[in-house]
Amino acid sequence: MTMGKHKSALNYIMRCPRYSKRTPVKSVRTKWGSSSGKLVLGQKSLTITLLALLFAGVFFHLMLINSRVSKTFQVEELSQKMVELQKIQAYLEREAADLQSIQSIQEKLNVSEFIPTTDVSYLSEQDYALLESGSNNP
C-alpha cells in the first residue's frame, strides 16, 4: 500500500482498512498518567520540568563559584596577615636579641646607678667548709 493521493501520514493511517472513520480511536492518555500506570508527561509539563532543572543547575553552579571565590579571598587575606605577622616576629626577635646583648645590659646597669666592681675574688674549694647534717658542733 502506498501513500499515493494522501498528503499526510495521518490521512493515510485513517484511511487504512484497520481504522475506519466510524470507529474513533480512543485516547489512552490522561492528564497525570495512562491506563498502564506509567507517568505520561505532556509537552507543557515536560518543558516546565526541564526549565526548572536547568534553573536549579545554574543556581547550584553559581553557588559553587561564589563559594570558591569567597574562599580565594579569605586565603589571600590570611596570606597577607601571615606576611605581616612574620615581619612583626622578625622585628621582635631583633629587639629581644638587642635587649639581651651585654652592651645593652651594661648600659641599663649604669643608668640604674649601680657601682661597678673592679676587684672580684672567687672562693676556691678549700676556702669554705661544709657543715655536716648530723654534727652538733657549734
Q: What is the pLDDT along the chain (138 residues), one digit of tens a residue?
A: 555 555 666 666 666 655 555 555 555 455 555 556 566 668 888 899 999 999 999 999 999 999 999 999 999 999 999 999 999 999 999 988 888 887 777 777 776 666 767 787 777 766 565 555 555 555
Note whether residue 54 is domain-resident. yes
pLDDT at 118: 79
Note whether residue 33 is domain-resident. no
Note whether residue 92 is domain-resident. yes
What residues make up the domain containing 93? 38-112
Count structural domains, the chain.
1
pLDDT at 131: 55
pLDDT at 73: 93
Note whether residue 89 is domain-resident. yes
Question: What is the reported pTM?
Answer: 0.39
| 3-state SS string for 12-60 | HHHCCCCCCCCCCCCCCECCCCECCCCCCCCHHHHHHHHHHHHHHHHHH
